[in-house]
Every structure is written in C-alpha cells, then in structure tokens.
C-alpha cells in the first residue's frame, strides 16, 4: 500500500476552499500512485472548535461528506477526512472517515480523547473502540490526534488486526516530540504503521483561540522507522511512503511484542490488593 499524507494551511469555515486543497492533494497523491490519502483533523471546516460551534449542523456535515466523496471518486483514491458528526447521545463528535476509491464510506471513528478546554466545550468524546477494515488487501484503522498519544487505542487497533493506523491530527507547535519520538514508539510497540496528517499555519484571532499548528506530519513504519516527514512551515505538502503487510509481519517476527504479552496478568494487576 502506498500511503499519502496531506499537510496544509486551511481557512476556518471556508469549506469550498479547503475542499479545493484536498482535491489538489488527491491529484498529487494519485499521480504518485498512492492508494489512500490522509488529511488533517477537521481540515475541511477548519480546526477551530469555538469558531465553528455555531455552524455545526446537518448542512455543514453534508457539504463536507459530499465534497470528500466527490474527490475520492474523481481521483480514484481512498480518502481519510475528519468532520463533525452528530452524536447519538446529543451534541457533536469529532470523527474521521475512510472512503474507498468510489467514494463509499468503509469506516467511521469518533475521537475518544478530546484535547483541552476548547474541544471539550464544543464536542463530546466517542466511546466505541477503534476497529479495522480491509482496504485492498491491507487492514487499516482510524484514530484522531490526541488518541494516538495514548498506548491503549493504538494497541486496540493492533488487537483488531490493523496493519496501519491512519490519523488526522491538529498538533500545535512546541509538541515536536509527538511525531519525532512518541509516534515512533507507538508504532514499534504495537507493530503497525502510522500515517499522521497535520495542519500548518496560524489560526486567526477570531477563531476563538490563538494556535500555531506545527506541521511535522509523518509516516512511520511498523518497526518504528521514520519513512517520510513534512516540515514545520510549508503551506502545502504531500508526502508518501510504501507499507506492505510483509513489512508488518517482519516487524512482528523480529520482536514479538504482541505474541508475548500477558494481558490476563495485566488485568490482575489492576484489581484491588488486599
């Protein structure tokens, strides 16, 4: 599988303009032979929870979903995009969806770990475990931003049979150790590849918060190797790397972390001690 990652600076609530950037990335990725393109967290509506709060509704969600499906169809490429979606319990989730080359939705995931006050004020956390689906012979799953910084969701994807975690994110500057160290450890310990797509650029003051988004999008192999990385200040960049199921199998043979775990013992450790 050839995985492409888009890093770009979008505009808050400029759905048409942001979709045009996704389409540009999809064209570049398809020309490079990529099978799937991963885009940043809430990119199409803009990552600015307080600024988009009053616009959350079916019309916005429909415009994002329809636009993403059209891009996947037109460029014949799998597409991961992130969008607000209505929660069954009321309120809104931050979600990510995986589309096939025909624009059909294969998988949707709701972010479990909301980061900081702005997200927690506007959105509700998901509860469902991450899962994996087959995408053209490779098992892939979705996580979102802060989720991948915890070992449990990544390990849950490995337990679900995932070979690759596709991760839209909105990581601020000053957290370079997340893509530089943490994601490599997550990939190594759970022995799956990680594709991590971040924004770049600064949110305007009227976005409800001051945030400089840090770039450094990465693709990491199942052995923790850094396969591709974007810069910190590029306004638009598409990177790609190849990950095969053979690569995943080789990593799991080399150091059998998954085979040698003792989960029943770990659960016993969590029981009250008398």
At 67 the pLDDT is 98
Residue 58 lies in a domain: yes
CATH of the domain at 74: 3.60.110.10
At 109 the pLDDT is: 98
- Catalytic choice (118, 119, 145, 149): 145
CA distance 195 to 5: 7
DSSP per-residue codes, 184-225: HHHHHHHT-EEEEE-BEEE--GGGSS--EEE---EEE-TTS-
Can you give the pTM of this predicted structure? Answer: 0.95
Catalytic residue, from 28, 111, 118, 119: name it.
Answer: 111
Decide if 127 is catalytic: no
Q: 């994996």: which residue's tokens?
A: 132
* Residue 274 within a domain: no
- Give the residue, 274 or 47, on which the prediction is more confident: 47
Reported as a single tens digit per residue, the pLDDT across 25-34 is 999 999 999 9
Does residue 13 belong to any structural domain of this protein? yes
**Which is the catalytic residue, given 41, 118, 119, 149?**
41
pLDDT at 110 over 70: yes
Among candidates 175, 155, 102, 167, which has minimal Cα distance to 263? 155
Whole-angstrom distance, CA of residue 14 vs CA of residue 21: 11
Catalytic residue check, 145:
yes
Give domain status of residue 190, yes or no: yes
Number of domains in the chain: 1
User: Annotated catalytic, 111?
Assistant: yes
139-170 residue pLDDT tens: 999 999 999 999 999 999 999 999 999 999 99
Average pLDDT taken over every residue of the chain: 95
């Amino acid at each position: 599988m050839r995985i492409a990652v888009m890093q770009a600076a979008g505009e808050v609530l400029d759905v048409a303009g942001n979709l045009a950037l996704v389409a540009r990335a999809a064209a570049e990725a398809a020309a490079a032979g990529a099978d799937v393109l991963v885009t940043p967290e809430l990119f199409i509506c803009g990552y600015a929870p307080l600024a988009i709060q009053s616009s959350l509704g079916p019309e916005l969600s429909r415009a994002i979903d329809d636009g993403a499906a059209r891009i996947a169809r037109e460029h014949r490429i799998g597409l991961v995009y992130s969008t607000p979606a209505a929660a069954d319990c009321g309120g809104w989730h931050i979600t990510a969806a995986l589309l096939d080359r025909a624009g059909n939705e294969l998988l949707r995931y709701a972010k479990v770990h909301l980061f900081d006050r702005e997200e927690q004020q506007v959105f509700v956390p998901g509860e469902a475990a991450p899962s994996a689906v087959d995408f053209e012979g490779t098992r892939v799953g979705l996580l979102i931003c802060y989720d991948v910084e915890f070992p449990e969701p990544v390990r849950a994807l490995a337990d679900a049979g995932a070979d690759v975690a596709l991760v839209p994110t909105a990581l601020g500057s000053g957290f370079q150790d997340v893509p530089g160290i943490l994601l490599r450890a997550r990939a190594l310990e759970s022995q799956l590849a990680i594709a991590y797509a971040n924004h770049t650029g600064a949110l305007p003051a009227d976005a409800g918060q001051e945030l400089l988004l840090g770039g450094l999008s990465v693709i990491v192999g199942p052995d923790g190797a850094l396969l591709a990385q974007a810069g910190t200040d590029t306004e638009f960049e598409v990177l790609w790397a190849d990950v095969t199921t053979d690569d995943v199998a080789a990593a799991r043979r080399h150091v059998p972390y998954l085979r040698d775990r003792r989960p029943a013992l770990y659960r016993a450790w969590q029981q009250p001690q008398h």
